Amino acid sequence: MLDIKLIRENPDFVKERLKTRDKALVFIVDEILAVDKERRKLIAEVEQLKAEKNKLSKEIGRLFKEGKKEEAQKAKEEVVAKNERIECLEKELKEVEKRFNNLLLTVPNLPHESVPVGKDETENVEIRKWGEPRKFDFEPLPHWEIGERLGILDFERGAKLAGSRFTVMFKEAARLERALINFMLDIHTKEHGYTEVWSPVLVKPEILIGTGQLPKFEEDLYKVCDEDLYLLPTAEVSLTNLHAGEILKEEELPKYYTAYTPCFRREAGSHGRDVRGILRQHQFDKVELVKIVKPEESYNELEKLVNEAEKILQLLEIPYRVVELCTGDLGFSAAKTYDIEVWIPSQNMYREISSCSNTEDFQARRAKIRYKTKEGKNEFVHTLNGSGLAVGRTLLAVMENYQKPDGSFDIPHVLQRYM
């Protein structure tokens, strides 16, 4: 959520920044300003009346004690009249507040000034490459063929159990999934200083509002029927919200959390994309990294976060590249994002395996995560998140990059002790 004060005081700046994402966003700023004006006018009026009412009520108490019944009675009538007016105005105010909040909650974050301006993913900027894609002296197979031939990826049975975009894994694939999870968690906790977390995978709507999935992206989420709970689309949601509504001590920061969770996404609007294999599934495993930091440190922390995610691929010895998303491709909550894209031999291209973002205070403002500065002021923290990594995609990358001509594949050196 953007700071209403910023919108109020620098509307043109906000418009300019939003425009780099999408030109249509400009109009919402004016709408917000109009509603804000209306809102504040009503607040002033209501509070004036309440002040008068409170004063009178105290007066009444005093008059009763002094035995001045008639004067008290007269004052009572006056308060009743004020109450009617207050009730009426408050009803109006409630409507306006609701409109105001809904508007504010649907505005995306402002891109950081360093983010390249561009309309979509074609204008993302490659930052660096790591590793040389392997030269195959045979035609590399896609992972689904490798997996099906070995009998360790079963798409038909996945569909039987749950429908399309669900897969069953057997034997080495199942074990590799588990090995990858443990490997990633070990690296992040032992080498990068993260605290391991295990969290619920069903969460309340207000939690999803905190990180920005709601109210705007409900169609991407699975909702539990009969209960007001949603399946987690990413552990970013639970980890970031661990401190929702809290005021942290300055010396508690920074906080680094990592968790393995399954993630559930409806992938609405991506029909026909990546239909084969396990690249795009409704349910997938992910090890997530979340940082809660002081504002002045967040961009530094973002660079570190990307490096920490990259470390996994380096240890697995799989080539990748890092790209910086342009303004038009930036996610809703992000001020700046780096994607890590892993090399996929069968597609002869790099595909996203991690997305690392600094949301600045955008999520903190929604989730009300603050810290008390040395001066005793409450400030919003900055929150960051990144995949470290998407486990299913890592598994797929291992299978393809380590495949052998006989249709089998090797296990990366660092994973062998986990198998």
- Active-site residues, by number, are 265, 280, 352, 355, 393
Least Cβ distance, residue 1 to RNA (angstroms): 11
What whole-number distance in Å separates Cα of residue 260 and Cα of residue 249? 27
Residue 373: phi, psi to the nearest 5?
A: -80, 170
Cβ distance 292 to 254 under 8 Å? yes
* Assigned token pair, 107: 């505005």
Cβ distance 164 to 369 under 8 Å? no
- Binding RNA by CB under 7 A: which of 13, 16, 22, 48? 48
Is position 382 an interface residue for RNA (rule: CB under 7 A)?
no
Residues touching RNA, count (CB under 7 A)? 28
Is position 50 an interface residue for RNA (rule: CB under 7 A)?
yes
- Binding RNA by CB under 7 A: which of 307, 373, 378, 416? 378
Least Cβ distance, residue 210 to RNA (angstroms): 15
Nearest to 232 by CA among 198, 257, 202: 202
Q: Which C-beta is closer to RNA: that of 96 or that of 176?
A: 96
Is position 408 an interface residue for RNA (rule: CB under 7 A)?
no
Q: Give the Å distances, CA to CA, from 72 to 52, 84, 396.
A: 15, 19, 80
* Assigned token pair, 395: 């598994």
Judged by DSSP in three states, 279 sits in coil
Stretch that binds RNA, among 57-65, 119-127, 152-160, 314-322 (CB under 7 A): 57-65
By CB under 7 A, what part of segment 83-142 binds RNA? Answer: 83
**What track of x and - describes contact with RNA for positions 242 through 281 (by CB under 7 A)?**
-----x----------------------------------
- Binding RNA by CB under 7 A: which of 17, 53, 165, 366? 53
- Binding RNA by CB under 7 A: which of 40, 149, 171, 223? 40
Angle subtended by helix axes 391-401 and 298-316, to nearest 10:
40
What spatial distance separates the first Cα and last Cα of the chain, rounded to whole Å? 44
Write the single-letter amino acid at 51. A
Radius of gyration of the chain (CA): 27
- Binding RNA by CB under 7 A: which of 16, 22, 27, 44? 44
- What are the residues binding RNA (CB under 7 A)? 4, 40, 43-44, 46-48, 50-51, 53-58, 60-62, 64-65, 76, 79-80, 83, 247, 370, 376, 378
